């Protein structure tokens, strides 16, 4: 992890190897061109979009990575690698210079220029765009094309993570002035042959793709099958060749098939218990500590997720992350300590409602487990199971005890800024820690990796000790695939290879 920084030197070195596959995979039989596959993702509705800024669900991300490219692309170690940018560099982490790859063309034949990039990045700041990344794009103080292939990005403050942020699907590059999203005009590995919201997306190989030899597949048909059992059935019956989001309970069925296999991606996805810090009794530090001791993490991992999970330590950085702090003591189930803390909080025998919902994956079962252990230490948790529909707008963070569910974010800065900073909109527990906020800003502008890791480590300690969230496990993402599909690898940023399988897989059938 020494060369985690995105300096000019290792940037140049990475030029040739701008692929997601590690060297070992390249020694395997050469990928062949051709083949059609059908891929089923989680959901598909009239809200499907070809506008990367509006992408909301896995189906959207997959679709966008098929048709568009970003300036950068994350590799399996979450290190940003060049994509449309040949170089992206900065001395002060605030003023960035981007040099674009030469000779990249859009599907309509136009050549990619710095103007397209500047337009694509700036549109996120326009409220009319409705961008999901509007708050993050606020830090783009100025994006200016300085030449046909050169542009400068001036940020409102230093941020060493810019190359990682730009790899997100929302920041994929469009042709300047694009308004019509009935079809896609990108630089990506596939062209859009058909897009029917809620029905299907048909992608055909782009023979002029700038990455030599890629992509391999002739055609990809992307559909959504919201019902998990139907999705697994479709895979097992051979109607689709790749599916996302397999329930741990269905893994047995797929393992039993000789024609199919599972791909587990360890991820930073978690479901957490939120204890609001703006009112009694949940703001009592003893209560918070007691709840953390009440979590039977191995049981949750085993019973809820059939071991497709990683035990977490009440902070949002998963063990495989480069900034993970390994020396924090692991909180585990301890009824005596929980009882002692409850007594100190004066909450024995009190009845507390906790809101759980299918919208926050696994929360209903987690709440039941906590209720069971709580009854042994004199805590009376009343589990209110509420429907998933409308959960986020009506219940999440609105009661003293609720559950949240947070998707993996590509950088530690994003997850901390979005969910733990004192003034963040989704500061779930509503905790206020000035020291944490200071560390966050300092780490963001810090270019030295060792120092950064130390700063993020301190922040993990603060969240672990004081924040009103309890994170029992990180949930693994499980995909199912037909064994004739080759080249799939796990990516911690999301299922289906971080939604980017399309340009990496090939078919041997």
Residues that bind another protein (CB under 8 A): 40, 45-47, 56, 127-128, 130, 132, 134-135, 196-200, 223-227, 229-230, 233-234, 236-240, 389-390, 392-394, 396, 405, 418, 425-426
Q: How far is the CB of 425 from another protein (least distance, A)?
A: 5
Q: How far is the CB of 106 from another protein (least distance, A)?
A: 23
Q: How far is the CB of 247 from another protein (least distance, A)?
A: 15
Q: Which is nearer to another protein, 22 or 238 (CB)?
A: 238
Relative to beta strand 473-482, strand 242-243 is antiparallel
State the Cα–Cα distance between residues 255 and 273, nearest whole angstrom.
32
Q: What is the DSSP letter of 112?
A: P
Q: Which is nearer to another protein, 253 or 344 (CB)?
A: 253
**Closest CA relative to residue 287, chosen from 348, 375, 332, 366:** 348
Q: How many CA atoms lie within 13 A of 45 on its CB side?
A: 9
Q: Which is nearer to another protein, 234 or 291 (CB)?
A: 234
Q: How far is the CB of 135 from another protein (least distance, A)?
A: 6
3-class SS string, 351-417: EEEEEECCCCCCHHHHHHHHHHHHHHCCCEEEEEECCCCCHHHHCCCCCCEEEEEECCCCCHHHHHH
Q: Which is nearer to another protein, 210 or 396 (CB)?
A: 396
> Cβ(218)–Cβ(35) under 8 Å?
yes
Q: How far is the CB of 280 from another protein (least distance, A)?
A: 26
Q: Which is nearer to another protein, 214 or 260 (CB)?
A: 260
Longest CA pairwise span in the chain (Å) = 71
Q: Which is nearer to another protein, 34 or 198 (CB)?
A: 198
Listing DSSP states for 278-314 in one string gives: SSTTTT-HHHHHHHHHT--HHHIIIIITTT-EEE--S
Q: Which is nearer to another protein, 85 or 234 (CB)?
A: 234
Helix axes 335-345, 363-376, angle to 10 degrees: 80
Q: How far is the CB of 171 from another protein (least distance, A)?
A: 16
Q: Which is nearer to another protein, 226 or 445 (CB)?
A: 226
User: What separation in angstroms does the CA of 204 have from each of 30, 43, 301, 358?
Assistant: 21, 21, 40, 36
State the Cα–Cα distance between residues 441 and 422, nearest whole angstrom.
12
Q: Which is nearer to another protein, 200 or 337 (CB)?
A: 200
Q: How far is the CB of 162 from another protein (least distance, A)?
A: 20
Relative to beta strand 242-243, strand 36-41 is parallel
Burial of 265 per CB tally in 10 Å (0-12, 13-18, 19+): buried
């Amino acid at each position: 992890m020494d060369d985690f920084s995105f300096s000019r030197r290792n940037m140049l070195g990475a030029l040739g190897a701008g692929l997601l596959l590690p060297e070992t995979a390249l020694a395997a039989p050469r990928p062949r061109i051709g083949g059609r596959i059908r891929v089923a993702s989680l959901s598909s509705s009239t809200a499907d979009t070809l506008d990367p800024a509006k992408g909301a669900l896995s189906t959207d991300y997959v679709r966008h990575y098929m048709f568009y490219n970003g300036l950068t692309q994350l590799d399996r170690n979450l290190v940003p690698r060049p994509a449309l940018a040949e170089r992206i560099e900065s001395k002060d982490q605030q003023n960035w210079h981007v040099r674009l790859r030469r000779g990249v063309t859009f599907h309509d034949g136009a050549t990619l220029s710095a103007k397209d990039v500047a337009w694509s990045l700036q549109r996120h700041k326009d409220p009319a765009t409705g961008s999901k990344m509007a708050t993050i794009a606020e830090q783009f103080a100025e994006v200016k094309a300085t030449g046909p292939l050169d542009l400068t990005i001036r940020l409102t403050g230093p941020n060493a993570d810019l190359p990682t942020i730009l790899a997100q699907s929302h920041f994929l590059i469009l042709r300047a002035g694009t308004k019509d999203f009935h079809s896609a005009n990108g630089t990506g590995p596939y062209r859009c042959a058909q897009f029917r919201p809620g029905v299907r997306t048909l992608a055909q190989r782009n023979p002029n793709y700038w990455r030599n030899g890629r992509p391999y597949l002739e055609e990809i048909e992307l559909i959504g099958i919201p019902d998990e059992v139907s999705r697994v059935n479709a895979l097992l019956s051979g109607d689709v060749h790749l599916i996302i989001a397999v329930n741990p309970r269905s893994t047995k069925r797929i393992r039993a098939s000789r024609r199919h296999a599972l791909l587990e991606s360890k991820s930073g996805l978690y479901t957490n218990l939120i204890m609001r810090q703006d009112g009694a009794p949940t703001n009592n530090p003893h209560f918070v500590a007691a709840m953390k001791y009440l979590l039977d993490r191995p049981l949750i991992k085993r019973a809820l997720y059939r071991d497709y999970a990683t035990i977490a330590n009440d902070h949002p950085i998963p063990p495989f992350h480069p900034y993970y702090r390994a020396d924090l003591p692991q909180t585990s189930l301890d009824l005596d300590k929980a009882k002692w803390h409850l007594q100190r909080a004066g909450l024995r025998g009190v009845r507390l409602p906790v809101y759980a919902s299918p919208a926050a994956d696994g929360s209903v079962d987690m709440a039941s487990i906590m209720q069971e252990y709580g009854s042994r230490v004199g805590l009376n948790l009343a589990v209110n199971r509420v429907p998933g529909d409308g959960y986020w707008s009506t219940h999440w963070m609105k009661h003293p005890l609720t559950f949240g569910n947070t998707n993996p974010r590509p950088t530690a800065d994003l997850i901390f800024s979005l969910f733990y900073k004192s003034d963040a909109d989704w500061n779930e527990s509503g905790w206020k820690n000035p020291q944490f906020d200071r560390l966050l800003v300092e780490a963001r502008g810090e270019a030295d990796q060792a120092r950064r890791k130390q700063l993020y480590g301190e922040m993990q300690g603060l969240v672990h000790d004081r924040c009103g969230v309890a994170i029992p496990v990180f949930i693994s993402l499980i995909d199912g695939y037909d064994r004739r599909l080759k080249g799939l690898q796990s990516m911690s940023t999301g299922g289906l290879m971080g939604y980017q399988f399309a340009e990496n897989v090939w078919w041997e059938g």
